A and B are shown apart, each in its own frame.
Chain A
Amino acid sequence: MWKRFRSNIGAMVGVVLLAAVILIAIFAPLIFANTPWQMVQRPFLAPFSMDSLPLGTDTLGRDVAAQLAYGARVSLLVGLVSTLVALLIGVPLGALAGFYGGYVDEGAMRFTEFFQTIPNFALAIVLVAIFEPTLASITLAIAIVSWPPVARLVRAEVMSVRKREFVDAATLAGLSKPRILVRQVLPNTVSPIIVMASLMVATAILLESSLSFLGLGDPNAMSWGYMIGAARTVIRSAWWLSFFPGIAIVITVLALNLIGEGLNDALNPHLSRKGKA
């Protein structure tokens, strides 16, 4: 499987890009002497005009490059944690619904649909507005709006695996139902979940950026969305303030999507779009 993944050029590009973003995020304090909030030069310094400030300064004279690096921390953290939380809600709910069927299924699916009827972004805004906008509440809000597709995917997978003969064999071996679900059925649903999770991280990063853009970000955390939001009034005079964070978002999301597709092709070779035997 790893071999198939490695031979996929797009996926490897994704891995390299994502690794770069992660490294920058981790080593931000070492690379940049200043915190992203510190004023270091005159405002609106254009990029590439000073060696120590390669991407220029913003409306308050803060280092844009440092802001980008620290922003990567927020984006990645929110993306990763919110996806994990969404999986923690979605996987058990979907698995129970798919495995036990009947009333359990009805109940779980109606509950899921309840969340799906409200537009994602609107719900996220409402949730963040109700809680105070902190990193934790934003992460939770994103998780709450993004688990329903996970639940539906896991339910469908479990339903199809449940009908396979090895599940009958496990029943005959006298294993209890919960044990069959956890030991026999769930491991066989892992690959589509991994693929979906990698794409969900990308979506979560976009959601977080959108929230920060609207001013609903954590005021104590520098994030890409906040940078673009703050720069939108000066977009014609200082293009670089919104351009660089925009590029950062595009690269990160693109990397995650490439990895997701690479994983999909590697884990489900039969569905590979390349069509080569």
Chain B
Amino acid sequence: MSTTLSIEHLTIGLPEGADRPYAVEDVSMAIEKGEILCVVGESGSGKSMTANALMGLLPPGVNVKAGRAVFEARDVIRLPEAEKQALRGASMAMIFQEPMTALNPLMRIGDQIVEVFAAHDRYTQSERREKALALIREVQLPDPEKIIRAYPFQLSGGQRQRAMIAMALALEPKLLIADEPTTALDVTTQAQILKLILDLREKRGMAVMFITHDFGVVAEIADQVIVMRMGKVVERGSAAEVLENPQHDYTKRLLEAIPTGRLPEARQLSETPALEIKGLRKVYRTGGGLFKPVREVRAVDDVSLTVARGEVLGLVGESGSGKSTLGRTAVRLVTPDGGQVMVGGTDLAALSDEELRKQRHKVQMVFQDPYASLNPRQRIMGAITDGPITRGIPRKEAEARARELLEIVGLGADAASRFPHEFSGGQRQRIGIARALAMDPELIIADEAVSALDVSIQAQVLDLLRELREKLELSILFITHDLRVAAQLCDRIAVMQKGKLVEIGTVHDIFLNPQQDYTRKLLAAVPGADWDQQGAA
């Protein structure tokens, strides 16, 4: 085998005032022809910077300080811009995390692929179109003749990522750099894209540099693995070695932090329900005009379920399954079209706005985005005490309680006087939890509350939730797209698809004895599923 790319002692400097002097420090790696190298690390580890340096896409102020990257016997980092441009796309291509923003929204898919040929001045116009069609077929997009004329917004997330891959493959590159290409996708779609990348590697023998934070994905596709942390390589080796016999503490910690398929002990559940949802319906209507029929989406279609006091119910589904709408309906940020939401004997769905405001405290929510869920101009104390004070609790008492809660979630009482921007994502999520707890709710709804966090932080927040569940007998409706996370925390799991409840049962039932096809499909799509079972055995 021959080496496609070899990076030697690469060091990338950050501008002054950054949290560390180098984004990437003395990193070396080599990718053989036809090999998939996974670069793994948490956010801020410098994994994307490495890829961007190769493509010449470093942001202003960030420069390569030392080292070289040899590709086709040339150092790509020091090539003049014109030659770099010729190289990009032709022999080195990149796909990104978010295909919607990486594609031009105003150009048809076919035209975007044709443009790649045009930019490198290959083929005649009609040949280009033919080639584009062949590529669309190769990445297994359905109905190629129609896709070639479609705009990006008309495709689903997975289809857009396939289109991106088609563009990247257009000029038969020798190296494909994939920067978290499946992170924004559903598990089932992710599994398909991973398989596509494996197939293409097989067929074309190209080298792939695959950047990811997910060891499950690594287990699925990697030949070689490099683990990065704070800009340095902490471990390298073949996939089997690293996964089974990690040497570095950090790798071990990361591997431990991964939600495994290991199932928790089943617990005895109480009989009293904290939340009862009966026949809940929510329909979204869009469009509708003189000439257009109204489009109806049944986001939640006749769903009934209960969460017992002290229980954690996981609500799992892919994007668009209506799980978030269900959660938002349960706190009545969204008013349902029909059905009941019973919390402690009151039907939240039937209250008037004014009555509802008085009952709000009964159900609280922890949000997905730790950066958007706290008011950047309000101190933490205000964020936590606003609700209790509105409820009529004296300010002194509310503030004392807020300090106590901040201790409980592991931040310390002095966090109260600070502003949100002083905290990291995981810490903000803890604040969000403290804010929810301050209202003494009967039920907490956690909407993808750990999805935006790095695995190790995710594990800490899950630990916290588990601890709180024991200590405070919390009832939680835990909404997530990640079955592995759900398995770690939940007593029971409910699976949703297209607005309907597909299956509900204890974690053991769902994982070991799923009744529905869809549940089985979801379970099979979890990356690294096989490897997990080996690990458990």
CA distance A275 to B59 in the complex (A): 9
- Contact of B377 with A169 in the complex, beta carbons under 8 Å: no
Contact of B390 (CB < 8 Å), options: A173, A187, A275, A277: A173
Is A102 an interface position by the 8 A CB rule?
A: no
Q: Chain B residues near A41: list those with CB within 8 A.
A: none
B387 and A172: CB pair below 8 A?
A: yes
State the CA gap A165–B378 with chains docked (Å).
14
The answer to whether the Cβ of B295 comes within 8 Å of any Cβ in the partner chain is: no
Q: Is A131 an interface residue (CB 8 A)?
A: no
**B252 beta carbon closer than 8 Å to chain A:** no
Q: Give the complex CA separation of A277 and B58 in angstroms.
A: 11
Given A168-B365, A168-B367: A173 and B376 interface contact (C-beta under 8 Å): no
Cα-based distance from A171 to B333 in the complex (angstroms): 8
* Residues in B neighbouring A276, C-beta threshold 8 A: 15, 60-61
Q: Does A175 contact B (CB under 8 A)?
A: yes
Q: In whole Å, how far is A206's beta carbon from the nearest beta carbon of chain B?
A: 33
Interface hit among B34-42, B142-150, B271-279, B354-362: B354-362
Chain B residue, CB-CB nearest to A167: B375
List B contacts of A166 (CB < 8 A). 372-375, 383
A165/B358 in contact, CB under 8 A: no
> Across the interface, do A172 and B62 meet the contact criterion of CB distance under 8 Å?
no
**A164 to B420 alpha-carbon distance, docked (Å):** 15
Q: How many residues of B contact A (CB 8 A)?
A: 32
Q: What residue of chain B has the Cβ atom nearest to residue A186's Cβ?
A: B377
Chain B contact surface mostly: loop
Question: Which residue of B15, B59, B60, B365 is within 8 Å of A172 (Cβ)?
Answer: B365
* Alpha-carbon separation in the docked complex, A164 to B368 (Å): 11
- One of B333, B373, B387 near A174 (C-beta < 8 A): B387
Min Cβ gap A191→B in Å is 10
- Nearest Cβ on chain B to A275's Cβ, whole angstroms: 6
Give the docked Cα–Cα distance between A21 and B409 (Å): 54
Separation in Å of the A2 CB from the closest CB of chain B? Answer: 16
A188 within 8 A of partner (CB): yes
In the complex, whether B138 has a CB less than 8 A from a CB of chain A is: no
Indicate if the CB atoms of B391 and A169 lie closer than 8 Å.
no
Nearest CB in chain B to that of A177: its residue: B353
Residues of the B chain whose Cβ atoms lie less than 8 Å from the Cβ of A187: 375, 377-378
Q: Does B235 contact A (CB under 8 A)?
A: no
Given that A173-B387, A174-B358 are known contacts, is A277 also in contact with B369, CB under 8 Å in the complex? no
- Whether the Cβ atoms of A168 and B333 lie closer than 8 Å is yes
Question: Which residues of B409-464 have CB atoms within 8 Å of chain A's CB atoms?
Answer: 432, 435, 439
Q: Which of B59, B62, B361, B367 contacts A169 (CB 8 A)?
A: B367
Please report the C-alpha to C-alpha distance between residue A187 and residue B373 in the assembled complex, in whole angstroms: 15
Q: Does A237 contact B (CB under 8 A)?
A: no
The reply to whether the CB of B364 lies closer than 8 angstroms to some CB of chain A is yes
Residues of B within 8 A of A174 (CB): 357-358, 360-361, 387, 390-391
Q: Flag whether A46 is at the interface (Cβ < 8 A).
A: no
Question: A275 to chain B: which residues have CB within 8 Å?
Answer: 60
Name the contact of B368 in the complex, choosing from A165, A170, A172, A173 (C-beta under 8 A): A165
- Identify the 6 closest CB pairs spanning chains A and B, nearest first: A173-B387, A277-B61, A174-B360, A165-B373, A165-B367, A187-B377
> Which residues of A pack against B, CB within 8 Å?
164-166, 168-176, 183-184, 187-188, 275-277
